Structure 1
Amino acid sequence: MHRLFFRKKGKTIEKLSWHQKLLLKKELKIKCHSFRQLGYSSVNETELMNYLVSYRWKKNAPSSVKACREDILHIEPNDFFDYQQLIAQTSNLKISDWQDLKDLF
């Protein structure tokens, strides 16, 4: 029924259907809570979902909703922050343009 959940290249959370977002919301909340318990308070569901659909699942999308849920629960902080570092390095923003740097200090 939900085979090839995220097929389209470059898909972001804004392009997901409301149904797809709803099906993954619980696991995203759980993972964000897990990150907060580890001291990473700035990670939110939107950033995490954008990481998943634009990077982690870009070439090898899970084949079912269940596989998506399981994959979300297995994300490690290093995986997510490696992606954030890649985004920062390829962005046109200067350090003075970044809004929230307080978590770094």
Structure 2
Amino acid sequence: MKIQKLSWHQKVLLSKEIKLKCRSFQENGYQGVSETELLDYLLLYRWKNRQRLSIKECKSDILHIEPNDFFDYQQLVAQTSPFQLRDWTDIKDLL
């Protein structure tokens, strides 16, 4: 499977594990994690330098993601974002 972008078929095959991992995050108190954000993390960061992974390897990798892994990525995104804090109008999630 090529990692840069997933086909609709690959998304369907991985959707169960992505939903399970999001639910796991939510059960552990991380309410703001969406399936889209998790998929972005996988494609843009975790699997970025991998050439080929099977669907089975991807499923296993999704289930082994730790909250710290995901939130380290989110911190990098926030630090490299062109937006500044004053540009944000709704920061309720941060409080």
For the criterion TM > 0.5, the same-fold answer is yes
Considering only aligned residues, what root-mean-square deviation do their CA atoms show, in Å?
Answer: 1.6
1:28 aligns with 2:18: yes
Separation of aligned partners in 1, 2:64 and 2:21: 9
1:41 partner SS: coil
1:43 matches 2:39:
no
Instruction: Kindly tell me the number of residue pairs found equivalent between the two proteins.
Output: 95
Out of 2, 6, 29, the residue aligned to residue 2 of structure 2 is 6
Check conservation: 1:6, 1:57, Cα contact below 8 A. no
**Contact persistence 1:48–1:80 (CA under 8 A):** yes
Opposite residue 31 of structure 1, the aligned amino acid is: K
Whichever residue aligns with residue 39 of structure 2, its letter is M
CA–CA separation in structure 2 for the residues paired with 1:61 and 1:84: 23
CA distance in 2, matches of 1:45, 1:100: 21
Query: Is the 1:31–1:72 Cα contact (8 Å) retained in structure 2?
Result: yes
Pick from 46, 53, 68: which aligns with 1:63? 53
